[in-house]
Amino acid sequence: DRRLPMANVGRGIFIAQAVVPKSSIPFEYKYVIVDKEGKVACKEKDARKATSKDSSFVVRDEAFNYPNPQYKTSGVAIPVASIKTRDSTGIGEFLDMKKVVDWCVLTGIQLVQILPINDSGEDPSPYSAASSFALHPSYLRPSAVCQYYADKFGLDMSGQTG
């Protein structure tokens, strides 16, 4: 049981480097996930095999093969437009999501997924959005935007003149 720590280089990619004597090739290996104390939390059921005719080679694997996924949870998928509170303008707003999250906490639901809400420019369909990180401005609460600028810059955003 020899463990070789892997380094996370980002985007879910992990790397490790090992010197393996040519006499030990081919060899078998498994990926394991260890907890903070170094105890094995999860390991692959079947071994992988590395073979090469050269003494130097690269092993590339696509994914960790979970033997039995241990994480199970519940969630809810909801379009923002369907969430209407007494405070909203009637079309559903980002701030209305707080009440959904509060409900999830009360009921033990751990995940909330919302349907696409991207600003899609001239095409109103959120499924043809130009950016997956944009938020459609129609779901903003105008009074909250005004309050934000009033607080941040000391502006009178009441709309009253004189």
Using CA atoms, how far apart are residues 36 and 94, in angstroms rounded to an integer? 37
Q: Identify the pLDDT of residue 103.
A: 93
Q: Identify the pLDDT of residue 109.
A: 92
What is this structure's pTM?
0.45
pLDDT means per 10 residues, the chain with 162 residues, are: 81 80 85 86 84 71 66 84 84 87 92 73 58 66 84 78 56
Using CA atoms, how far apart are residues 68 and 133, in angstroms rounded to an integer? 33
As given in the structure block, the two tokens for residue 154 are: 């000391």
Q: Identify the pLDDT of residue 156.
A: 78
Q: Match 């009074």 to its residue by tokens.
A: 143
Helix, strand, coil percent content, the chain, rounded in steps of 5: 25, 15, 60
Q: Identify the pLDDT of residue 104.
A: 92
Q: Identify the pLDDT of residue 143.
A: 84
Using CA atoms, how far apart are residues 33 and 23, in angstroms rounded to an integer? 28
Q: Identify the pLDDT of residue 4.
A: 85
